[in-house]
Amino acid sequence: MQKQAIGDQNLLNALTPRKETLTVTDSVATLTVPIGAVFQVVATKGTTTGPFSVIFAGTVATKQAIVDRTAKTITFFATDAVTECYVEYLEGFE
């Protein structure tokens, strides 16, 4: 029974959106957990602030954030000079 409760809690954790404010260094924010789905990325400090479009492949452009699930990073366009961001996402699995 206890094993089932742990499994249920892991599922609940996986389906509960995480909300974090991250420091961005050299245009890159790093998360400590795997990234599943990303709901929103908002630049809160820097030259360009506000909501950014999330992409998963290609070349990042202004007002875009590219998510690398393998590296657990979110990269911003250098000219946007983002230094802090708010992210809502589901934790992925390794």
Q: Which domain holds residue 45?
A: 2-91
pTM: predicted TM-score of the whole model, two decimal places: 0.85
Q: What are phi and psi of 21, to 5 degrees?
A: -105, 125
With b meaning 16 or more CB within 10 Å and e meaning fewer, what string describes 62-81? Answer: eebbbbeeeebbbbbbeebe
Domain total in the chain = 1
Give pLDDT tens digits for 1-39.
Answer: 455 555 666 777 678 899 999 999 999 999 999 998 999
Give pLDDT tens digits for 53-70.
Answer: 999 999 999 999 999 999
Contact 53, 64 (CB under 8 A): yes
pLDDT of residue 3: 56
